[in-house]
Amino acid sequence: EWGFVVASGLLHVAYFVILLRGYRVADLTVVYPLARGSGPLLSSLVAITLLGEEISALGALGIVGVVGGVFLIAGGPGLLRAAHDPAARARVHKGMLYGLLTGAFIASYTVVDGYAVKFLLMSPILVDYMGNFVRVGLLAPVVLRDLPTARTLWLAQWRFALAVAVVSPVAYVLVLYAMQQAPLSHVAPAREVSMLFAALIGGHLLGEGDRVARIFGALCIAAGVTALALG
């Protein structure tokens, strides 16, 4: 059980670091939907191949929807022809790389945590709470290396930090409880309704381009992961 707690903490740190670095170099409407779309796809495939869960024709159709949505969000048909703006093309490619890499870590911690609560019968609160000590242990040296900068960032962003600190654990503990009651390949895709809001927020508030294509791509991914869950 302690091995799973440590593994979970390591994977969650890698997930957050890669995701935030992706936001720094690419558009949220590329990185986030790719991450959230590929994560449940990969975790469902692992659950099917390694944990003995099954998939139907509807589930296979869901995979097609996810792939199509990823294609649209990443630039659609424009990826098949030369880009007029090399800088924009490079930004999209960086977003694709970070999004897919983040998705791989989402799938990894979903499978590890799902196995811990479903097969080892560990408490969801215990898995998430004890994993915090692993995350703090990994990240504390980075903070302690430059305390003046950490103090400046905390004073500027403490409200956002506290909001994330409250909302994120509650949401994830609920996901872990759901994993105890239902197949992992159903729960993982159901989480991804959030990417629709991310596409809207990124397009409207952050002024990121190709809004219609990216929102439609997010809808395709949402439909795909729903079909995957039902299948």
Q: Is the pLDDT of residue 48 over 90?
A: no
Q: How many Å apart are CA 173 and CA 83, to the nearest integer?
A: 43
Higher-pLDDT residue of 58 and 144 is 144
- Report the pLDDT value the prediction gives residue 82, as an integer from 0 to 100: 42
Reported as a pLDDT band with limits 50, 70 and 90, residue 85 is low
Residue 82: both structure tokens together:
């030369």
CA atoms of 208 and 200, how far apart (whole Å): 10
- C-alpha span between 21 and 86 (Å, rounded): 21
- 182 Rama class: left (phi>0) / alpha (psi -120 to 50) / beta: beta
- Is the per-residue pLDDT at 195 higher than 70? no
pLDDT tier at 107, thresholds 50, 70, 90:
confident
Residue 120 per-residue DSSP state:
S
Domain ranges of the chain: 2-230
Q: Whole-model pTM?
A: 0.75
Please, which pLDDT band fits residue 212 given cuts at 50, 70 and 90? confident
| pLDDT top residue among 122 and 84 | 122
Percent of the chain at pLDDT exceeding 70 = 78
Segment among 56-60, 67-71, 107-111, 200-204 with least mean pLDDT: 200-204
Average pLDDT over every residue of 183-194 = 69
Q: Are 75 and 84 in contact (CB under 8 A)?
A: no
Q: Which of 173, 183, 170, 199 is nearest to 36 (CA)?
A: 199
DSSP 169-204: HHHHHHHHHHHHHS-HHHHHHHGGGHHHHHHHHHHH
